[in-house]
Amino acid sequence: MSTHINAAKGVIAESILLPGDPLRAKFIAENFLENARCYNEVRGMLGFTGTYRGVPVSVQGIGMGMPSMGIYSWELINDYGVRNLIRVGTAGSFHEDIHVRDIVVGVSASLDSSYTNAFDLPGIYAPGAGYDLLVKAGKASEKTGIAFHAGNIVSTDVFYDQREDWWKRWAAMNVMAVEMEAAALYTNAARCKANALAMVTISDHLVTGEETTSEEREKTFTDMMTLALETLIA
């Protein structure tokens, strides 16, 4: 086992989906994978392995925020040999062309966090998606007809930001959405030579105040899961 995952070597697939909510991991395993088995219950952070169209795929809850994503993605890559990691989650948007229920893929992830400082680089690091998975996401979109926006997103450490209009300066840089994990995943994947992608659906809009109903979230969620799984097997 690793420090935070109690699984035997070999039971976690090379390709994995990473939702924040462990119960969402369970839902994905039960509804999108065949023959899924739970391999981890430590801290209630459930993880499952099954198959999707015959290909082994795992799904692991990773919690919220970059520290949590940093821990799980590091151990999955280094202790369990995971190679392809797709974060699936929700994000807020402040971009005028992006609306609630849209899917956004983070080509790159800006951050307001000190996460990358720990890598002690002689400049400012730019966390980016794995090109291979980006191309596969494009293929999966063509195959399924499920569209997505692609661009820069921002990973923040603070959900309840007290600075008025903080998002306006990100919006001015054409940043598409705000979430809390992608930059840590991209940084770890780069450091450990794995492939990573962050895929989010917009759950709330900071400018228009649009929100999603639970039925809309369900439908969008299903689309994003299909897109993510088809990306992993493309």
Rg (Cα) of the chain, in Å, rounded?
A: 17
Residue 178 contacts ligand HPA per CB under 6 A: yes
Binding track, positions 47-86, relative to ligand HPA; x by CB under 6 A: ----------------------------------------
Amino acid at 1: M
Give 128's strand partners. Answer: 108
Question: Is 180 among the residues that bind ligand HPA (CB under 6 A)?
Answer: yes
Options 92, 106, 128, 130; binder of ligand HPA; rule CB under 6 A:
92
The residue nearest ligand HPA at its CB is 92
> Which of 82/178 has CB closer to ligand HPA?
178
Nearer to ligand HPA among residue 143 and residue 219 (C-beta): 219
* Strand spans (E) along 30-111: 34-40, 47-52, 55-60, 84-93, 103-111
Residues forming beta bridges with residue 198, ordered by sequence position: 87
* Burial (CB count <10 Å: 0-12, 13-18, 19+), residue 124: exposed
Q: Which residue number, 79 or 210, has a Cβ lying nearer to ligand HPA?
A: 210
16 Cβ contact partners less than 8 Å away, ≥ 6 residues apart: 57, 58, 59, 60, 76, 82, 84, 85, 86
- Both structure tokens of 35: 């023959």
Residues 204-233 that bind ligand HPA (CB under 6 A): 204
- Whether 21 is a known active-site residue: answer no
Contacting positions for ligand HPA (CB under 6 A): 90-92, 156, 159, 178-180, 203-204
By annotation, the residues acting in catalysis are 204
